[in-house]
Structure 1
């Protein structure tokens, strides 16, 4: 059994790297400092055809698998842009999946083509302040009216809402207590993010400030029937098809970020001399970095295993969640160690590792917590009783 990238897969990695290499540390530090969306990077990735890597060829995409998308996002995460760069284009790879799978031919043409071309930007309106990971408890409600729906509700941690002109929005159309199952009665829409009628309020946060996060306030907003994806009441089932790919992609991005930090730490450890010798010669520096490498490599191959299973229509829930868990943990540990390796300079903005460290923390939180992943593995893999 050969475990290696194919020539085509390696070509993807090399081609993406040529794009990311155009955007250096100075570019990303400036975007972070100014809290400014990296439109130039987004445009370059669109022009390279990368925003449609998993989308249908007839709409301008490449129709490749999650494996190829993960390799692309791993390369992006390992670049100077880190998780900010990955977040710039992340939603294009998993967010429109329900449209691709359940949308009408007219919707696919109208929605996916502008996304692939980089003309539209979309945000994902699912998480709510009082629901969190319990998606079945969302309360944003769409009431049926002539020609469409009237929607009222609140969303939180909506990425890129400041620059997006579209929103993929999950709502309830039947109250939870009136459904036989809690997963029923939810409906998915892809519609205009009309900021004259919808308030999008930026959330101040620790890191990844080049890509905004937001609280979204929707009050009696009209959405036409043609913007509903699939059948009314089936929205939760539709977004489930995006969950495993998202976990795989987040794992890939996290691993890239961690390797980015590790590369910087190893380079600094070779160059920095104290007491007449490079600090990397000391086992107290060398061994922790070696352990970071091992953890990141282990997560990388778990991530690719999960992607392979998904692309071959095999069960991959455990592997996808494990890839996200291991990738996020390994990235955080590597970024922490990179700061410590730099000593006092690791706390400054000059060497970039403090920026990567701030980005790494969120990868242990989103899109699902480590504790919920452990619950899933315990219950679904080990056969232990449900703990929540």
Structure 2
């Protein structure tokens, strides 16, 4: 199964600029094959070389309007790029995190903020890779964050802790979620505000690296008297959670793109290996115990792909929020389940070699495992579908 066959069959309705994006990504990935990603994984390091070239192609500006130096595309293009990087064996995790905070800045940021930062982000001169939401006592329940921003004159003074925040030391800018008024159980999501922190100038952030099983670097942040100019408030003070909701939908879409791409990669690797590995005088792919799991995973890939691209299209079209929420959550959920199945199927197909680090199969299994629990737990998505879409009784209070 070739990548070209997949593209022609499943994406036959792509626009010309989308096909060009795919072509550019494939050309880039020819220089960053499996060996490179294995070395990055072994060194537990940030893929600086890949990221630098990625930014030089202007891809940071995918979702930035043309008036600010970007391409003016939507989340469909961002998801497509993430998918293709992963389908070529790469890890798009390191660059995808900039697209949803950019989306918030474009939709809710002041003109002054957009003029100051978006052109330089689009050119790749500034890196916005850090998105600080999660705290030790507030994961999925964002309303319970305790990091606090107090307004003092023309700036905010921020104190608190964040955990599992990726790429902080590798970024120039960080999107930070904090409270600007105390938690109110009657209005849980009021009082949350969004800030764009310039890490090049920031004082008062201590970042401790956390060793993780894959997809590092990840940090725990201790924030003490961090000063952020009031002009770097994104959107309206106290209404940040409402601004955040749209970005979380975009996040689910680009993650689903990454996972659909990873599934394509794993199926291709499994098919190639099963076609040449000889056991008992035959290629193992001829045995139904090997062939059928690959085939069923491929069928599920087709479904995941359809949900993903419908979700992305609905988001870009500005469809009704409930419908967008349904499809973006469904896309993230199902793409995760299919990718996890693909990783285990590839491991089974490769047998002992799948367990070997050098094949790169176990690397993908470790990477995909993250999405069973983050950035939103799979069961929380099912709960959302149950109570918000199907009208079932709630298991928790929002």
TM tier, shorter chain? over 0.9
1:301-312 equivalences under 5 Å are: 301-312=306-317
The Cα offsets for residues 115-141 of structure 1, whole Å up to 9 and x where unpaired, read as 222222221111111011100110000
- The equivalent position to 2:33 in structure 1, one of 24, 49, 72, is 24
Native 8 Å contact 1:52 1:92 kept in 2: no
Cα distance in 1 for partners of 2:12, 2:261 equals: 19
Cα distance in 2 for partners of 1:26, 1:171 equals: 40
1:236 equivalent to 2:241? Answer yes
**SS of the counterpart of 2:45?**
coil
- The equivalent position to 1:298 in structure 2, one of 295, 303, 308, is 303
**SS of the counterpart of 2:158?**
strand
Q: Which residue of 2 aligns with 1:378?
A: 386
Q: Which residue of 2 aligns with 1:319?
A: 327
Cα distance in 1 for partners of 2:291, 2:202 equals: 52
State the Cα distance separating 1:195 from its structure 2 match.
6.6
Cα distance in 2 for partners of 1:23, 1:121 equals: 21
Cα distance in 1 for partners of 2:312, 2:166 equals: 24
Q: Which residue of 2 aligns with 1:106?
A: 112
Native 8 Å contact 1:127 1:158 kept in 2: yes
State the Cα distance separating 1:21 from its structure 2 match.
2.1
- The equivalent position to 1:271 in structure 2, one of 276, 279, 293, is 276
Superposition RMSD in Å: 1.6
1:366 equivalent to 2:374? Answer yes
Normalised by the size of structure 2, how large is the TM-score?
Answer: 0.92
Q: Which residue of 1 aligns with 2:257?
A: 252
Question: How many residue pairs get matched?
Answer: 381
State the Cα distance separating 1:201 from its structure 2 match.
1.0
Q: Which residue of 1 aligns with 2:147?
A: 140
Q: Which residue of 2 aligns with 1:340?
A: 348
Q: Which residue of 1 aligns with 2:160?
A: 153
Q: Which residue of 2 aligns with 1:192?
A: 198
1:163-174 equivalences under 5 Å are: 163-174=170-181
**SS of the counterpart of 1:350?**
helix
State the Cα distance separating 1:180 from its structure 2 match.
4.9
Of the structure 1 ranges 98-107 and 368-377, higher mean CA displacement relative to structure 2 is found in 98-107
**SS of the counterpart of 2:97?**
helix
Cα distance in 2 for partners of 1:66, 1:97 equals: 9
Native 8 Å contact 2:346 2:354 kept in 1: yes
1:76 equivalent to 2:99? Answer no
Native 8 Å contact 1:328 1:360 kept in 2: yes
1:6 equivalent to 2:15? Answer yes
**SS of the counterpart of 2:222?**
strand
**SS of the counterpart of 2:372?**
coil
Normalised by the size of structure 1, how large is the TM-score?
Answer: 0.95
Native 8 Å contact 2:356 2:362 kept in 1: yes
**SS of the counterpart of 1:366?**
coil
Native 8 Å contact 1:42 1:118 kept in 2: no
1:209-228 equivalences under 5 Å are: 209=216, 212-228=217-233
- The equivalent position to 1:125 in structure 2, one of 119, 132, 140, is 132
State the Cα distance separating 1:196 from its structure 2 match.
5.1
Cα distance in 1 for partners of 2:204, 2:316 equals: 40
- The equivalent position to 2:47 in structure 1, one of 21, 35, 38, is 38
**SS of the counterpart of 1:294?**
helix
The Cα offsets for residues 320-347 of structure 1, whole Å up to 9 and x where unpaired, read as 1000000011001101111111111111
The Cα offsets for residues 283-341 of structure 1, whole Å up to 9 and x where unpaired, read as 00000000111111110110001111111111311011000000011001101111111
The Cα offsets for residues 159-178 of structure 1, whole Å up to 9 and x where unpaired, read as 1112112211111010013x
Gaps of at least 5 residues in structure 2 are 1-10
